[in-house]
A and B are shown apart, each in its own frame.
Chain A
Amino acid sequence: MTAKVLTIASGKGGVGKTTAVANIGVALAARGHKVICVDSDIGLRNLDVVMGLENRIVYDLVDVVEGRCRLRQAMIRDKRVPELYLIPAAQTRDKSAVSPSDMIHLCNELRPECDWVLIDSPAGIERGFHNAIAGADKIIVMTNPEMSAVRDADRVIGLVEAEEKGTPVLVINRLNSAMVKRGEMISVEDVLDLLAIKLLGIVPEDENVLVASNKGVPLALDGKSKAGLAFQNIARRLLGEEVPFLDLESQGLWQRLLGRK
């Protein structure tokens, strides 16, 4: 097996990177792929909580990098799906505990182990972000339909391109189609107009996301909610399927007429 290493980054915090990693990971694993999720947000780890695996952490990313344990020992298996693993971040250290070359080394060690490595990047564009993208084959940039998040995404895309990591793909999270229709939220077209990169997915705003992340049960496990379905579609697109964007996602003319302030 040679895994594809994907990093989810955003620049701005709180746009849903961690939720996306958990859900895309679950969706890929549910389709029979072996997935390893890596939390690179050292000092502010969250992915373990969202995945509901917090109480099973023994070793973490920093332990692996500093040689206190073997790679396999830090991989926590999520028993709800066939082959999903988490390598958690350390909570009692900071970003300087890991360097970009450590991450490249780690990714190279993980590649023969699985089909997909999903790295959850911290917010910001400093050391932690450089660590997160160092070993990646492809970067997914996440944003909300909100001007400040879109500006930050633009900056992140520029930095990714400057590091010669290729052009990232985009996921727009928390889109509220009713608000877009009323002209109170910027539309998908407005976001794409500025960022001009390929769209991988649109995830609608959904209260179930919050409920699920508090419970530690990723939404994509059941796939009944709209957001869960959107994450499943993202996973399918990553696997090369042509999946149309959800119905609520296309509003066409109205966005053009009302979307802009």
Chain B
Amino acid sequence: MSTVPSLIDIKGIRDGLLVKLGDSAWPTLQVALIDAIDERRSFFTGARLALDVGGQVLHVAELVTLREMLSERGIFLWAVLSSSSATEQTAQNLGLATRISKPRPSQVQHAPDAVMDAIALWLPRTLRSGTLVEFPGHVTVMGDVNPGAEIVASGSIVVWGRLRGVVHAGAQGDLNAVVCALELTPTQLRIASEIAVSPKRKGKVQPEIARLKDGILVAEPWQV
């Protein structure tokens, strides 16, 4: 890879190519990447590309432009890895993966008891079908979680709205994690390694909280 500038590190992985970007301003990196690709067109054409952008904070417009530039060159961008949660969020919104094959080391290190109360993700919007939110802490959604949307959190999940998608609280094994929602009717609900589906129910909808009691998933009225 001697022809490739040092800003860009390319290696083959099981799912295609992984390109790691160095530390520099985004426009510089983008130009360097496209130059590197144009230099070796035949090598890249038809490739599935995962991009590790480090701590770069990227906006929708930047990722859309890049994806388009790549697709014009016959390259399919399928994942963007980043240590910035803003960038991860943007990538997820655009339907890009933010993990390749197995969880990144930084994610695995979170022991169950390492979920601190201080870490929470605030999502003041409705999560529509196809949205995947993965977070190493608590997640609060102010809006609905529609069928086809998925939340995976190491901590607890609070939905101020209708929860109808799939949620997994305590994903790293935290048995004390809870899930609560104004309308708790998930497609599937998981806490730690327990899985449950919503029972068909009638009557008035009320806020509920789901938790593990003696290893069994139970849902009860949410009263604070």
Task: Say whether chain A's binding surface is mostly helix, strand, loop, or mixed.
Answer: helix
Report the separation of the CA atoms of residues A157 and B143 in the bound assembly, to the nearest whole angstrom: 15
Chain A residue nearest to B64 (CB atoms) is: A163
Within 8 A of B (CB), among A178-206: 194, 196
Q: Is B68 an interface residue (CB 8 A)?
A: yes
Contact of B148 among A151, A159, A162 (CB under 8 A): A151
Q: Contact size class for B?
A: 20 to 34
A196 touches B144 (CB 8 A): yes
Q: Is B99 an interface residue (CB 8 A)?
A: no
Across-interface contacts of B64 in A (CB, < 8 A) = 163
Within 8 A of B (CB), among A122-162: 125, 127, 151-152, 154-155, 157-159, 161-162
Q: Is A101 an interface residue (CB 8 A)?
A: yes
Within 8 A of A (CB), among B102-133: 126-131
Across-interface contacts of B129 in A (CB, < 8 A) = 151-152, 154-155, 158
A101 touches B68 (CB 8 A): yes
B148 touches A155 (CB 8 A): yes
Across-interface contacts of B126 in A (CB, < 8 A) = 196
Q: Is B25 an interface residue (CB 8 A)?
A: no
Across-interface contacts of B72 in A (CB, < 8 A) = 99, 101
Chain B residue nearest to A102 (CB atoms) is: B72
A163 touches B146 (CB 8 A): no
Q: Is A100 an interface residue (CB 8 A)?
A: yes
Q: Is B86 an interface residue (CB 8 A)?
A: no
Q: Is A109 an interface residue (CB 8 A)?
A: no
Across-interface contacts of A151 in B (CB, < 8 A) = 129, 147-148
Across-interface contacts of B127 in A (CB, < 8 A) = 158
Report the separation of the CA atoms of residues A155 and B94 in the bound assembly, to the nearest whole angstrom: 11
Contact string against B for A residues 227-260, beta-carbon threshold 8 Å, 1 for contact and 0 otherwise: 0000000000000000000000000000000000
Within 8 A of A (CB), among B131-183: 131, 144, 146-148, 164
Across-interface contacts of B130 in A (CB, < 8 A) = 155, 158-159
B95 touches A100 (CB 8 A): no
Min distance, Cβ A75 to any Cβ of chain B, angstroms: 26
A155 touches B71 (CB 8 A): no
Max count, chain B CB within 10 A of own CB: residue among A99, A125, A127, A159: A159
Across-interface contacts of B148 in A (CB, < 8 A) = 151, 154-155
Max count, chain A CB within 10 A of own CB: residue among B127, B131, B146: B146
Q: Is B188 an interface residue (CB 8 A)?
A: no
Min distance, Cβ B72 to any Cβ of chain A, angstroms: 6
Question: Mind listing 26 A-B residue pairs with CB under 8 Å?
Answer: A99-B72, A100-B68, A101-B72, A127-B71, A151-B129, A151-B147, A152-B129, A154-B129, A155-B128, A157-B128, A158-B93, A158-B128, A158-B130, A158-B131, A159-B94, A159-B95, A159-B130, A162-B93, A162-B94, A163-B64, A164-B61, A194-B146, A194-B147, A194-B164, A196-B126, A196-B144
Q: Which 10 residue pairs are nearest across A and B when measured between Cβ atoms? A: A158-B128, A162-B93, A155-B129, A154-B129, A155-B130, A154-B128, A162-B94, A164-B60, A154-B146, A100-B68
